[in-house]
Amino acid sequence: MEIKSVILAAGKGTRMKSETPKVLHKIFDKTLLGYVLDSVKFASEAFVIVGHKAEEVTEYVNENYAFAKTVLQTPQLGTGHAVSMVCPALENFEGLVVILCGDTPLVREETMKNFVAEHIKSGADLTVMSTIFDNPTNYGRIIRSGNGALEKIVEEKDADAGQKAVKEVNAGIYCLNWAKIKPAFSQLTSSNAQGEYYLTDIIEWANRQGLSVQASVLEDSDEIYGINSRENLAIATRLMNQRKLHELMVSGVTIVDPASTWISQDTEIGADTVVYPSTYIEGSNNKIGKRCKIGPFAHLRGDVEVADDVKIGNFVEVKKSKIGAHTNACHLSYIGDSELGSNINIGAGTITANFNPLTRVKSKTVLKDNVKIGSNTVLVAPVTVEEGANVGAGSVITKNVPARALALTRGVLKVIEGWVKG
Ligand code: UD1
Ligand code: CA
């Protein structure tokens, strides 16, 4: 069955106190909205409902997600009103519509796939994801009848004391048989405490039509953790990091100190690699091989491909680079826009000068296999050091170095004897 997705992202996010729209805030290098879109990659099309700072969000979506487009909602009259904005585009759509919020970046693609599979298997017309919170304050409460059937969702502000005591809450994720539920969107009213058109009212509507509705309980409630403040953003970042470190450790990577190690989701690390404390690996497309030693105090910034048995030591920053097997960069270096072969030694304090601030052009440094770079070398890109060549310590390399040559730009050492009197 064809699946389309609707992502609600028109709200202002007042509590972020930011010029940036809430859904474009980032965890590691990826936006909150990016994580949510990635969780529904299996959909044939995604509609992102935008309102506040719509242009910025639209630009982001258009640049990064071919399967998604934005739909404008002005003014923002509530979550039900938001979803109704896609009715014209989905007028003749017969498949499933999966709805999520743009500010819950921890939801996993696997969870979304399972949720949709469960919806299909059950034969329901509408499935709501719920979860159990010890402190359910501010969430919509799941109200079930005596036999456990889903009756309705009541928002905090509309709930009586009995309803407020319910700990099962609406996760804000829904799967709808679109053709059956679509008529609800022209019939929602705003007669509630907030004067908004509530998406949650589609449940009572469906019940009144005799359609089949159900709530599916999500066990790991962290996955629907929503971002409303900078505090929430920090907590979500930590949760995402913990999840990643756990996965890596299960797959055979040693993380010496999980409390001080940060690794982005889109980072693969081979077994028996050891990541030492205070290492920060951000960005996407990082692939680190087996038996490597990373850190302490290493900073990998994305598009970093490291083969097996590599050492990246303290205060070494690597960006957009490939590093071959058995190559070492153990201390105080910057390696950017580079291609390093295997069995290379990068001396302490080596810098690839990849950026020309006058032309604003970034260029590449290529070091072939078995190259040895002396300490405190600057490799001014574009530059290539051919196979087996050596560079003497303290050199500034502005030209290509032939294979097996020695390149050296060091001034002649002067020793003045008797300089210190007395
Ligand atoms: C909503 C649910 C609540 C659920 C909670 C889960 C309703 C009425 N309530 O409450 O049951 O427990 O999510 O997080 O749906 N948005 C728009 N346009 C609007 C209004 C909101 O796009 O007109 C977007 C917001 O940007 C946000 C999302 O919808 O991403 C949720 O809106 P919000 O007002 O935060 O709903 P909650 O009060 O959290
Ligand atoms: Ca609200």
Is there a domain that residue 317 lies in?
A: yes
- Nearest ligand atom owner, CA of 228: 1
CA of residue 81 to ligand 2 center, whole Å: 13
Asked if 350 and 210 sit in the same domain, the reply is: no
Structure tokens at 278: 């205070």
- Nearest ligand atom owner, CA of 197: 1
CA 235/CA 258 separation, integer angstroms: 15
CA 84/CA 181 separation, integer angstroms: 11
CA of residue 212 to ligand 2 center, whole Å: 27
Total count of domains within the chain: 2
Nearest CA to ligand 1 atom 13: 172
- Please state the φ and ψ torsions of residue 408, each to the nearest 5 degrees: -150, 130
Asked if 220 and 235 sit in the same domain, the reply is: no
Asked if 160 and 247 sit in the same domain, the reply is: no
Question: 224, 250, 271: which is the final residue of a domain?
Answer: 224
> For all residues of the chain together, what is the average pLDDT?
97
Asked if 196 and 49 sit in the same domain, the reply is: yes
Mutational test site, ligand 1, from 24, 70, 79, 199, max ligand atoms within 8 Å of CB: 79
Helices (H), 15-122: 32-39, 54-64, 79-84, 109-122
CA of residue 393 to ligand 1 center, whole Å: 60
Q: Taking the mean position of all CA atoms in its chain, how far away is CA 107?
A: 11
Taking CA atoms, 380 is separated from 337, 366, 394, in Å, by 12, 11, 13
CATH number, domain with residue 183: 3.90.550.10
| Residue whose structure tokens are 């019939």 | 187
Question: 191, 224, 257: which is the final residue of a domain?
Answer: 224
pLDDT tens readout for residues 293-335: 999 999 999 999 999 999 999 999 999 999 999 999 999 999 9
Q: What pTM, to 2 d.p., does this model score?
A: 0.92
Band (pLDDT 50/70/90 cuts) for residue 42 is very high
pLDDT tens readout for residues 161-217: 999 999 999 999 999 999 999 999 999 999 999 999 999 999 999 999 999 999 999
Which is nearest to 96 in space by CA: 174, 151, 9, 206? Answer: 174
Asked if 257 and 328 sit in the same domain, the reply is: yes
pLDDT tens readout for residues 261-289: 999 999 999 999 999 999 999 999 999 99
Task: Tell me, yes or no, if 331 is annotated catalytic.
Answer: yes
Asked if 220 and 270 sit in the same domain, the reply is: no
Asked if 135 and 248 sit in the same domain, the reply is: no
List, in order, residues 6 or more apart from 279 with CB less than 8 Å away: 260, 261, 262, 263, 294, 295, 296, 297, 298, 299, 300
The pLDDT of residue 136: 96
CATH number, domain with residue 293: 2.160.10.10
Band (pLDDT 50/70/90 cuts) for residue 422 is confident
Taking CA atoms, 278 is separated from 185, 291, 314, in Å, by 51, 19, 9
- Nearest ligand atom owner, CA of 75: 1
Is there a domain that residue 36 lies in?
A: yes
Nearest CA to ligand 1 atom 3: 140
Asked if 255 and 383 sit in the same domain, the reply is: yes
Asked if 12 and 141 sit in the same domain, the reply is: yes
Is there a domain that residue 43 lies in?
A: yes
CA of residue 335 to ligand 2 center, whole Å: 46
Q: Over 90: is that where the pLDDT of 12 sits?
A: no
Q: Which domain holds residue 280?
A: 230-407
What average pLDDT does range 225-233 have in this prediction? 95
Ligand 1 pocket (Cβ < 6 Å) reads 8-11, 49, 73, 76-79, 81-82, 101-103, 139-140, 153, 155, 169-170, 172, 198-200, 226
195 sits in the region (left: phi over 0; alpha: psi -120 to 50; else beta) called left
Asked if 100 and 197 sit in the same domain, the reply is: yes
Is there a domain that residue 279 lies in?
A: yes
CA 183/CA 326 separation, integer angstroms: 63
Question: 209, 224, 239: which is the final residue of a domain?
Answer: 224
What average pLDDT does range 119-142 have in this prediction? 97
Is there a domain that residue 419 lies in?
A: no
pLDDT tens readout for residues 79-112: 999 999 999 999 999 999 999 999 999 999 999 9
Asked if 206 and 342 sit in the same domain, the reply is: no
Count the neighbouring beta carbons within 10 Å of the beta carbon of residue 29.
13
CA of residue 147 to ligand 1 center, whole Å: 28
CA 150/CA 152 separation, integer angstroms: 6
Asked if 342 and 204 sit in the same domain, the reply is: no
